[in-house]
Amino acid sequence: MTSMHWIGIDDHADKWTIAQYRNVEGKPAREFELVPNDAGYKKLIRFAKSLEGEVRIVYEAGPCGYELYRRLSKAGLQCQVAAPSLTPRKPGERVKTNRRDAAKLGRYLRSNDLTFIAVPDETRESLRDLIRARGGVQKDLVSIRNRITKLLLRYGQRYRDGEAWTVRFWTWLRAVKLTGEYSQLVLDEMIVTLEQRQAQRARYDGMIEAAAKRPEYESFVRAFTVLRGINTLSAMTILAELGDLRRFASAPQLMAAVGLVPSEYSTGDKTSRYAITKTGNAHMRHIVVEAAWHYQRRPSEGPRIKARRKNQPQALVDIAKKCDLRLNRKFHRMTSRGKRSTVAAVAVARELVGFIWAIGQIAHP
């Protein structure tokens, strides 16, 4: 009978804590620590390959990324990365140590109680870094804009001739002079920071547009932009965050992975449903909720939508048109019953994910 070895690794920046189980033994056969450097990788790989029989290794996803997974896989070892939020935890357990965590991962790997993530390849992870960096700059822009308007408001300065951050607003802003020894200096520095962030966002947008035209991405992006509310940035986010959607067996699985399904607590004959779980990929959830607001208006094919759908396979266009009618009808049906528009947008976003899944079965990277 072939021996089985289950190795759990508690991965940290300064050290690995490793627990190895043999077959069905109750206690680890060996527990030890290594420093995560080149020497540590060599020792870990040598130890795993010295074990007779099949070896399976697991660690939890975290800030250290997937370097451990890639190095072990390259060495021919079977390594998997567990989703930390879905690792079982005993309610009464109050002691947490690196050693216990490593042993727990080894046991749960053996009992098949872990949920594993799909590790992106280096190319997709690099693209994801670009997309997320652009999102971080956008958050900085919103923050600095709010700080500027709040500073102006404290000095009685409020723009009343239209919407903020238009060309006319910028003309007014540059003409504002604040009293006080340092107030105007602070405002000027804020404006400089804002302009720097805008330039940085423009550079990232240019990089994303250029990446979207690459042969390996172009057909994928064009397929998803047939949907209303999904532009190049949204399509590239889907690609970077989720990759090949065919790995999800059904649309509800993708909805759950994005965290748009209602949470539930049922006991006995009582069933209670609450707000969405908000688990899974928050970046993907953000872009589909934003896209859902486009279905508030009556669906009509304007020049931009027509250009996106031109020369696309009829199957994709049919999905997009069905999506237009269904989601617009759902949005208005919910708001007419007294639901808040924000609640309706989230419900529409959940169904939009279903249409994204359907397109992903036809077009894939």
Asked if the structure places residue 196 within a domain, the reply is yes
Give the pLDDT confidence of 168-207 residue by residue, as tens digits: 999 999 999 998 889 999 999 999 999 999 999 999 999 9
CA dihedral of residues 65, 66, 71, 73 (deg, nearest 10): 160
Q: What phi, psi does 348 have (nearest 5°)? A: -65, -40
Asked if the structure places residue 241 within a domain, the reply is yes
Query: Which residues are registered as beta bridge partners of 24?
Result: none
Are residues 334 and 245 both part of a single domain? yes
CATH of the domain at 44: 3.30.420.140
Asked if the structure places residue 116 within a domain, the reply is no
Are residues 146 and 188 both part of a single domain? yes
Are residues 154 and 188 both part of a single domain? yes
Asked if the structure places residue 310 within a domain, the reply is yes
Give the pLDDT confidence of 143-168 residue by residue, as tens digits: 999 999 999 999 999 999 999 999 99
Residue 86's pLDDT is what? 87
Are residues 250 and 196 both part of a single domain? no
C-alpha distances out from residue 27 to 20, 56, 223, Å: 9, 17, 52
Are residues 104 and 68 both part of a single domain? yes
Cβ-Cβ contacts under 8 Å for 361 (sequence gap 6 or more): 245, 246
**Is residue 89 a contact partner of residue 36, using CB atoms and an 8 Å limit?**
no
Token pair belonging to 117: 């993530």
Residue in 165, 298, 312 with CA at minimum distance from that of residue 226 = 312
Domain count, the chain: 3
Asked if the structure places residue 148 within a domain, the reply is yes
Residue 159's pLDDT is what? 95
Q: What is the pTM of this model?
A: 0.90
Q: Buried b / exposed e across 317-327, counting CB within 10 Å, b at 16+?
A: eebbeebbebb
C-alpha distances out from residue 150 to 49, 139, 160, 167, 304, Å: 61, 17, 15, 20, 37
Cβ-Cβ contacts under 8 Å for 195 (sequence gap 6 or more): none
Rounded to whole angstroms, the Cα distance separating 215 from 127 reads: 15
Are residues 222 and 326 both part of a single domain? yes
Asked if the structure places residue 117 within a domain, the reply is no
Are residues 130 and 208 both part of a single domain? yes
Point out the residues of the chain with pLDDT beneath 70. 1, 364-365
Residue 23's pLDDT is what? 93
- Domain's final residue, options 212, 239, 272: 212
Domain that holds residue 103: 4-110
Residue 1's pLDDT is what? 63
Are residues 100 and 176 both part of a single domain? no
Rounded to whole angstroms, the Cα distance separating 263 from 272 reads: 9
Are residues 131 and 90 both part of a single domain? no
Residue 337's pLDDT is what? 94
Are residues 166 and 63 both part of a single domain? no
**Is residue 86 a contact partner of residue 58, using CB atoms and an 8 Å limit?**
no
